[in-house]
Structure 1
């Protein structure tokens, strides 16, 4: 689990990582349930169609193709990790993806 210090002053950072985990099919049931409960509040803040992940996508002006692009990058990175005999966890990928694409 990532350290809390990573998220200090960055309220969207963890939500972005969870968005990435959802896109690659690695979001835990517990996280999904709590995010679904937060969906109305997130929609009120950011807009979207009522789903938490759509509110995050709207907040960052992501294209509809973003989940597919994330999945493609996950597959490529898994292959690179495998070829280099390194383990890449879903959380490591989510952090790396967010840091490389949404660092602000």
Structure 2
């Protein structure tokens, strides 16, 4: 998984944003994202929380969090029924980002 972010460090924040949208962002990653706000602000010349910076840079609309949560919630039951196990939220986030944003 570390290779995922080697050449695309901002991708870590996009994945984290999706995880937060579905209610599965772990404390360590959220702490990291918050700690990186000054560097993000400097890199992109904007101010705000890490979530706001991701939304601005990716041009995410205000409805996207709700849409992602609905996809996760609706798909979770289908996945469990088809695979006999609960889906992995981290894997969901990565696949969602890759399919919808081309690995940022």
1:68 equivalent to 2:34? Answer: no
User: Can you give the 5+ residue segments of structure 1 that lack an aligned partner in the other structure?
Assistant: none
Cα distance in 2 between the residues matched to 1:5 and 1:13? 11
Matched residues in 2 for 1:46 and 1:29: separation?
A: 25
What is aligned with 1:12?
10
Q: Name the structure 1 match of 2:57.
A: 59
2:99 matches 1:92: no
User: Which gives a bigger RCO, structure 1 or 2 (Cα 8 Å, sep 6+)?
Assistant: 2
- Higher mean alpha-carbon deviation, 24-33 vs 51-60, is at 24-33
Equivalences, count: 102
- 8 Å Cα contact 1:46-1:58 kept in structure 2: no
Structure 2 portions without partners, runs of 5+: none
- SS of residue matched to 1:50: coil
Q: Distance in 2 between matches of 1:51 and 1:18?
A: 13
2:24 matched residue in structure 1: 26
Segments of 4+ in structure 1 off by > 4 A? none
